[in-house]
Structure 1
Amino acid sequence: MGTRTRQILRREKMEITISTLLELFLATKSTEGRSDRTIGWYKEKLGPFVRYLGNGHDALLPNLNLERARAFVASLQERDSRFAEHPYRQTLKGGLSPFTIHGYVRAMRAFSAWLVEEEFVTSDPLAKLRRPKVGEPMIEILSEQELSAIFDAISPNTVAGARIFAITLLLLDTGIRASELYGLKIESTHMNEDFIKVLGKGSKERIVPFGSTTKKALLRYINTWRPEPEMPTVSNLFLTPSGGPMTYCALRHCFAQIELRERQII
């Protein structure tokens, strides 16, 4: 390849918008077999970063540099509220946690490393971007009063209510991950033996037992309120009202609605 050809290619790369590169990055992750939730996580973290770089315009590749990245992280640390632009979460006072900011930096570093792999740049522009230190998060146990408030906010005599009632009991009873729950298949729900088979990280299958109260809620949902699947290939235990498989976003929306009702009750 001649010098002039290399110069032309380099100039063309410099004229690609970062938003276009982000779309290519997400498409690459999809072809690599990453889950929809992972793709959504990258989009959620990198979207604000790309908008920050552009400052109201389409940023170009030269705008992606260590100085601007550090300024973006500093802006995250200076926030005094959360969920300001969220479609259904209520805006809360208080800045982002170090754990949340750590996630932004991880996504930014992954994006810049991908730019090197795909030869859009010759060196990683964010290689020296440090992740904030985070401690081990302590999981807070819900009190009886908090649990009562949650169940008081659920109307179990509707499709959505019976579903979230069963979901809440199953999560509390088994401690399975959210991804394991919305990916749970009805054929993996063994009601006679009182256990479920879940597919966890690394595609490892394990058996998780549940109690009698959870069993009653599951049977009530399955026998009375579970919609007909929209397609024969849909075998998820928990379905949307239209019969589609439940997603992570749908699960988050359910609990966000409970939170809003709980606040109204209190």
Structure 2
Amino acid sequence: MKDPIDDFMHYLTVERGLSKNTVESYRRDLSQYTMYIETKENVTNLDHVQRSHIIGYLLHLKEGGKATTTIARNIASIRSLHQFLLREKVCESDPSVHIETPKAERKLPKVLTMKEVEALLDTPKGTTPFSQRDQAMLELLYATGIRVSELISLDLGDVHLTMGFVRCVGKGNKERIIPLGTMAAEAITRYLERGRPKLSRGKNGTALFLNHHGNRLSRQGFWKILKQLAQKANIQKELTPHTLRHSFATHLLENGADLRAVQEMLGHADISTTQIYTHVSKARLKDIYSSYHPRA
């Protein structure tokens, strides 16, 4: 089964332009799936897979305590694989047809209040190269709502301070241009003028944000920095690398921004993905009402 899976991975990478992390997620899901049907169902050819085999695998996941979201993701991976194999005429039929995806309750993303955002953004203030870099990263994230993977992929030429925008390449290799606020532009300018030259250690790399070795900062490196800064800012909420992105979108909508404009800035292909933030705004309004109305 290895060759068809490898062909599918090549299709995801080259033709669909999915990120390395997304492709690896597909590979993990499908590796576990093919291992199950080989060992438990004695199926060694993907053309011999039947609907009952897939249902058996999904029951195996459920009995193993996997979350509904994990099972739904696996169904999506399996369905995409079999659709690809049918389209490429590797298989004569698609056994995943009509297999329903379990409905998962959509959790509202956790966001920071304006006060918490200000506390977090004020925490790394200082004159060291690291504090200048950290403040520039946080300001940029909150100003643009870009993903952490997009942040660490930025090169020097992607930030246009005079024009006030940042060029970002997101999921599916799609490019978008996002306005850059004054505070973020000032923080990036300080970092570029004073912080980055010291971090670069004489290297002529193109990466915007560098680690202490002078190389491009990794996602894990940023996550470690964020946790340390949140602790210093005394933020009790659980933070994820997406928290500032969620806060960016929610605060824009709370202040009257157009939903389509927010969708474009976030790089969402479907506006229904962006609409979750309107629910967040309503939930926050309800909390505020309950907390402050004398007869709530």
TM-score, scaled to structure 1 = 0.63
Q: Give CA-to-partner distance per residue, 1:152-185, whole Å, 9 cap, x none.
A: 9979888777545432332122212345433433
Aligned counterpart for 2:17 among listed residues 27, 34, 53: 34
Q: Contact between 1:184 and 1:236, CA under 8 Å: does it hold in 2?
A: yes
Structure 1 match to 2:177: 206
Of 128-137 and 108-117, deviating more is 128-137
Q: Contact between 2:167 and 2:178, CA under 8 Å: does it hold in 1?
A: yes
Specify every segment of 5 or more residues in structure 2 that has no aligned partner in the other structure, as ranges: 237-296
Q: Contact between 1:230 and 1:242, CA under 8 Å: does it hold in 2?
A: no
Aligned counterpart for 2:54 among listed residues 48, 51, 69: 69
Superposed displacement of residue 124, structure 1: 0.9
**Secondary structure at 1:127's aligned position in 2?**
coil
Let me know the Cα RMSD of the aligned residues.
4.3
Q: Contact between 1:150 and 1:258, CA under 8 Å: does it hold in 2?
A: no
Indicate the percent of aligned positions where both proteins have the same amino acid. Answer: 21
Tell whether 2:99 aligns with 1:132.
Answer: no
Aligned counterpart for 1:170 among listed residues 136, 140, 159: 140
Q: Contact between 1:25 and 1:114, CA under 8 Å: does it hold in 2?
A: yes
Q: Contact between 1:229 and 1:239, CA under 8 Å: does it hold in 2?
A: no
The residue type paired with residue 49 of structure 1 is Y
Superposed displacement of residue 111, structure 1: 0.7
Greater share of residues in helix: 2
**C-alpha separation in 1, matches of 2:213 and 2:226:** 20
Superposed displacement of residue 42, structure 1: 1.9
Specify every segment of 5 or more residues in structure 1 that has no aligned partner in the other structure, as ranges: 1-17, 81-94
Superposed displacement of residue 209, structure 1: 2.0
* Count of matched residue pairs: 229
**C-alpha separation in 2, matches of 1:76 and 1:155:** 47
Structure 2 match to 1:114: 84
The residue type paired with residue 67 of structure 1 is S
**Secondary structure at 1:116's aligned position in 2?**
helix
**C-alpha separation in 2, matches of 1:143 and 1:59:** 53
Superposed displacement of residue 253, structure 1: 5.5
Q: Contact between 1:229 and 1:243, CA under 8 Å: does it hold in 2?
A: yes
Tell whether 2:196 aligns with 1:225.
Answer: yes
Q: Give CA-to-partner distance per residue, 1:208-257, whole Å, 9 cap, x none.
A: 12232x3343234333236549996x6342345555556xxx32563266
Structure 1 match to 2:222: 254
Higher relative contact order (CA 8 A, sep 6+): 2
Structure 1 match to 2:155: 185
TM-score, scaled to structure 2 = 0.58
Q: Contact between 2:201 and 2:214, CA under 8 Å: does it hold in 1?
A: yes
**C-alpha separation in 1, matches of 2:43 and 2:119:** 47
**C-alpha separation in 2, matches of 1:172 and 1:23:** 38
